[in-house]
Amino acid sequence: MGDTVKLNVYADNWFKLYINGKLIATDSIEFMPHNVVSVDVLPEFPMTIAVMARDNADAITGKEYEHVMIGDGGFILKLGDDVVSDDTWKAKCFFFGPMEGEDPVVKHIPIPDDWMSVEFDHSKWDSVTVYEEAAVRPPQVFRDYDFKGAEFVWTSDLDLHNTIIFRATINKPDWKAGWDLGTPARRIEDLEK
């Protein structure tokens, strides 16, 4: 446990997060209320972080809260002391809307099956847009967690971009694992043979 580091994540409204292709955390409360997820992580570098974040927007109208208003988004992450969401991350929107004067008022782009894999190429994606905390307006509970040095990120439109995938690769050339996990556990299928 001494080698683990704390991961704090907040999303308006929901997220699931992968590190090096493995599911690490999912917001257990779909959309309301907003909450912070905090887990211990055993880091490995290079580290590829892939996150799907969603605003609480209806898939047909693009609006939330009984289809009466446009919602907004926001995402922030801190892992240990030096892995944070910032302007070096990449992002792509896969659900847009509502778009005034267009028919349909929402647009959905198919999400690649391998968006969370280490090998997935996000190099042509746009850099994230960084937002002030006042623009995202996290609830009071957010302040109970350590996000020092991390920045709120999203795409270029907090209001109309509803499903976002964020990706970042963090390299630490001098990093070495301080542990040996030994022989991997046998799979159940192997034991059943």
By C-alpha distance, which of 93, 97, 123, 124 is closest to 109? Answer: 93
Domain range for 171: 5-191
Rounded to a whole number, what is the largest CA-CA distance in the chain? 61
What CATH number is attached to the domain comprising 84? 2.60.120
b/e code 64-84 from CB counts within 10 Å (16+ = b): beeeeebbbbbbbbbbeeebb
Tracing tokens 């991390």 back to the chain, one arrives at: 150
Please give the pLDDT value at position 63. 85
Residues 129, 94: contact at Cβ < 8 Å?
no
Domain count of the chain? 1
Helix%, strand%, coil% for the chain, nearest 5: 5, 35, 60
Claim: this prediction has a pTM higher than 0.85: yes
By C-alpha distance, which of 140, 179, 119, 145 is closest to 39? Answer: 145
Separation of alpha carbons 190 and 193, rounded Å: 6
List average pLDDT for each run of 10 residues in the chain, which is 193 residues long. 90 94 89 80 96 89 73 92 96 93 93 98 98 92 94 95 96 80 56 56
Residues 137, 59: contact at Cβ < 8 Å?
no
Q: Is the peptide bond before 184 cis (omega within 30 degrees of 0)?
A: no
In tens, the pLDDT along 3-58 reads 899 999 999 889 999 999 999 999 887 666 677 999 999 999 999 999 999 988 88
Residues 74, 67: contact at Cβ < 8 Å?
no
CA dihedral 103→15→142→19, nearest 10 degrees, is -140
Please give the pLDDT value at position 149. 97
Residues 133, 103: contact at Cβ < 8 Å?
no
By C-alpha distance, which of 92, 96, 42, 32 is closest to 66? Answer: 32
